[in-house]
């Protein structure tokens, strides 16, 4: 067994994990998810309202890292930094740490000027899974920024059901047609709509089993 101890400022001050052939099993991580959800959703709201979202570099690891750091700065001491442990989810192994940096450099070289190119780049970054936690939530914002720059649209994530999304993403490393179909059906050209962004954040968290507090409630109160 191993334990991760974050900084005093980090809510994630104790992460328990099993090591199996050098892989940390994502399903074995324990933390105060309600607090993590509350603080990171508050930052997601701030990311939009401060307009910092429009300053993020599009389609690069630096841009993705800045998103991750902003969302999880109050939660993880490793926010925005490349992971140093191997990750697995079920029977799927994400990019090994040994090749992670090289993999990301190759992903950054991928084009992002069309819908298909943006989604393919997103799929590859998901396979890389560059952070210890919070990959999906950061990567979906990253994808939206690429789509907005490339085709003037973003995803209304509230239109994609959790089960459909997870199933399509599970198969995406082999065949990305299904995830492309789901995303294309949820595209909107209303890229400056705050409510669409907020609904998208809530649904993005729901994909990760984090739905104890709505971003709309956070917006209306001092939670």
pLDDT of 200-218, one tens digit each?
A: 999 999 999 988 999 999 9
Contact between 24 and 85 under an 8 Å Cβ cutoff? The reply is yes
The pLDDT of residue 34 is: 86
DSSP secondary structure letters along the chain:
-EEE---TT-S---EEE-EETTEEEGGG----HHHHHHHHHHHHHHHHHTSGGGGSPTTSHHHHHHHHHHHHTTT-TTTTS---SEEEETTEEPPPHHHHHHHHHHHHHS--SSHHHHHHHHHHHHHH--SSS-HHHHHHHHHHHHHHHHHS-EE-GGGS-HHHHHHHHHHTTT--HHHHHHHHHTEES-TT-HHHHHHHHHHHHHHTT--SS-HHHHHHS--
88 C-beta neighbours (distance < 10 Å), count: 18
Torsion of CA 144, 207, 133, 103, to 10 degrees: -50
Per-residue tokens: 43: 């930052």
The pLDDT of residue 22 is: 43
pLDDT of 135-155, one tens digit each?
A: 999 999 999 999 999 999 999
Q: Look at the domain 33-85+97-220 and name its fold.
A: Fic-like fold (1.10.3290)
Q: Is the pLDDT of residue 17 over 90?
A: no
The pLDDT of residue 92 is: 84
C-alpha closest to that of 112 among 125, 96, 97? 125
The pLDDT of residue 52 is: 98
CA-CA distance, 205 to 216, in Å (whole number)? 13
pTM, 2 dp: 0.85
Contact between 124 and 176 under an 8 Å Cβ cutoff? The reply is no
Task: Give the confidence band of 222 by pLDDT, cuts at 50, 70, 90.
Answer: low
Q: Is the pLDDT of residue 104 over 90?
A: yes
Task: Give the confidence band of 178 by pLDDT, cuts at 50, 70, 90.
Answer: very high
Mean pLDDT of the chain: 87
């Amino acid at each position: 067994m191993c334990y991760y101890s974050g900084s005093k400022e980090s809510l994630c001050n104790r992460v328990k994990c099993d090591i199996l052939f050098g892989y940390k099993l994502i399903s074995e991580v324990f933390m105060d998810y309600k607090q993590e959800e509350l603080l990171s959703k508050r930052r997601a709201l701030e990311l939009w309202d401060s307009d910092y979202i429009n300053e993020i570099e599009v389609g690069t690891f630096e841009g993705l890292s800045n998103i991750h750091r902003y969302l999880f700065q109050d939660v993880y001491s490793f926010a925005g930094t490349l992971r140093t442990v191997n990750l697995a989810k079920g029977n799927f192994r994400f990019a090994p740490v040994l090749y992670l940096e090289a993999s990301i450099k190759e992903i950054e070289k991928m084009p992002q000027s069309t819908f298909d190119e943006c989604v393919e780049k997103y799929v590859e970054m998901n396979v890389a899974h560059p952070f210890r936690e919070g990959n999906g939530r950061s990567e979906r914002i990253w994808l939206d920024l690429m789509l907005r720059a490339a085709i003037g649209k973003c995803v209304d994530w509230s239109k994609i059901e959790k089960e459909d999304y997870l199933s399509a993403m599970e198969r995406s490393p082999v065949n990305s047609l299904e995830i492309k179909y789901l995303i294309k059906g949820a595209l909107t050209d209303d890229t400056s709509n705050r409510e669409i962004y907020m609904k998208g954040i809530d649904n993005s968290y729901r994909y990760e089993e984090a739905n104890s507090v709505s971003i709309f409630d956070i917006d209306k109160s001092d939670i």
